[in-house]
Amino acid sequence: MAELRDDMTPFEAVTYFFDTVADVVEMDPATRAVLAGTYREIRVQIPLRRDDGSVETVYGYRVQHNGARGPYKGGVRYHPSASLDETRALAALMTWKTALVDVPFGGAKGGIQVDPTTLSKPELERLTRRFMSQVSYIVGPHRDIMAPDVNTNAQTMAWMMDAYGQRAGHTPAVVTGKPVELGGSLGRDAATGRGVVIVLDEVIRDAGQSPGDLTMAIQGFGNVGSWTARLAAESGYRVVAVSDVKGGTFSERGLDVEQLIGHQRQTGSVVEFPGAEPLDNAALLELDVDVLVPAALGEVITSANADRIRARTVVEAANHPVTPAASQTLGERGVTVVPDILANAGGVTVSYFEWTQNIQQFSWDEQRVNGELARHMTTAYRKVRDYAQGSGCDLRHAAFAIAVQRVANAAHLRGYV
């Protein structure tokens, strides 16, 4: 039975969302045990040779949650707080996300517990190659496919592809989010942010609103946050605040996102953007805006601040930014929360397009990628909305209900459980 506690770990929190659905659909205990747990978890030791010749030992994780619907799929993050529990949580979210947007993958995630800002480029390359070679026995284009996440990018994927290729021969489909020159897909870089804006547009249209009337604050200005800002501004939203790990920047009139991206490129951060006011990360979350987009790390909206969130719509561009207790508080206060497994699924959707292009050795133009992305995201959103309206539940519950039942069906059809 689902039991709500304030002190849940990330994996307990994601399992709670699963359990609430399993309770409602009266899932049989055997299926429930299979879907609640992870299939395979590995921790690898990575001796990292620093440029000065010293060796530091760090640890990496890969968790494969469920493969009933296809090969395991999920990103790899480099972060000091990466842990087995967090990786499990993120892997489970990938299972539900791929099922919800109906791409033929299972769910996985990886992480290396390291602060990449302290590493040089050659050190990052050695770390990445060593990690890939140590997990290469369980990955592959039809087994488990990696992708970028926090603090990893197209360059990281290029090194991973190369390291895997040294063992298995040229295999671009073993990772997605690669540079376009190496078989990456046009549109993959922008895909997660584009998906966020596609779903948000649908949500606000259903609420009878239009982008030009709405203000937005975005926490995080990396791949997801900066693309969300750029595409939201193009759609007409007034982006009044953004932040990164160093702090935030605010302008009541709206930030010029293109100029801000230039400023970030030059200085390494969004702080001290000329003509705007400074803002800290906690204050950004509580700003009086219409739409709040957490696009950085997990668990930033908790029972400690859920009462003070003033936005009427929260779009979970990050994974697991809202704890279960906070999600309940926001729901009781009438705030619409667009869940992560829907809001940020654009990334894995275009990763699926990249993987198919690699396997077919045929590339799509960007228009086709963006058109197919919009179709997948809109279909998924409308199914979630209709389910929520039909059963009187919130969007998260509806999204989990659809996803969980798809995965359970696949597991039954295969005879897995």
Q: Which residues are catalytic?
A: 109
Check: CB of residue 163 under 8 Å from CB of residue 172: no
Check: CB of residue 176 under 8 Å from CB of residue 76: no
Kindly state whether residue 151 participates in binding ligand NAD, applying the rule CB under 6 A.
yes
x-marked contacts with ligand NAD along 268-307 as a string, rule CB under 6 A = -------------x-------------xxx----------
Question: Please, which residue, 31 or 172, has the CB nearer to ligand NAD?
Answer: 172
x-marked contacts with ligand NAD along 4-43 as a string, rule CB under 6 A = ----------------------------------------
Kindly state whether residue 87 participates in binding ligand NAD, applying the rule CB under 6 A.
no
Cα dihedral across residues 351, 355, 357, 363: positive or negative: positive
Kindly state whether residue 64 participates in binding ligand NAD, applying the rule CB under 6 A.
no
- Whole-number Å distance between alpha carbons of 62 and 174: 14
Q: Which helix (H) or strand (E) holds 212?
A: none
Which residue from 150, 216, 315, 380 is in contact with ligand NAD, where contact means CB under 6 A? 150
Which residue from 113, 223, 327, 358 is in contact with ligand NAD, where contact means CB under 6 A? 223
The per-residue DSSP string of 246-296 comes to TEEEE-TT---HHHHHHHHHHHSSSTT-TTSEEE-HHHHHTSS-SEEEE-S
- CA-nearest of 284, 277, 235 to 255 is 277
| Residues 344-383, interacting with ligand NAD (CB under 6 A) | 344, 347
CA–CA distance from 157 to each of 75, 78, 100, 128, 132 (Å)?
10, 13, 25, 9, 10
Question: Please, which residue, 246 or 414, has the CB nearer to ligand NAD?
Answer: 246
Question: Please, which residue, 224 or 407, has the CB nearer to ligand NAD?
Answer: 224
Check: CB of residue 111 under 8 Å from CB of residue 86: yes
In whole angstroms, the minimum distance from the beta carbon of 113 to ligand NAD comes to 15
x-marked contacts with ligand NAD along 307-336 as a string, rule CB under 6 A = ----------xxx-----------------
In whole angstroms, the minimum distance from the beta carbon of 186 to ligand NAD comes to 15
- Whole-number Å distance between alpha carbons of 77 and 139: 16
CB neighbour class for 269 (10 Å; exposed up to 12, middle 13-18, buried from 19): middle
Which residue from 72, 164, 221, 400 is in contact with ligand NAD, where contact means CB under 6 A? 221
In whole angstroms, the minimum distance from the beta carbon of 271 to ligand NAD comes to 10
Q: Which stretches of the chain bind ligand NAD, using CB under 6 A?
A: 148-151, 192, 219-225, 243-245, 281, 295-297, 317-319, 344, 347
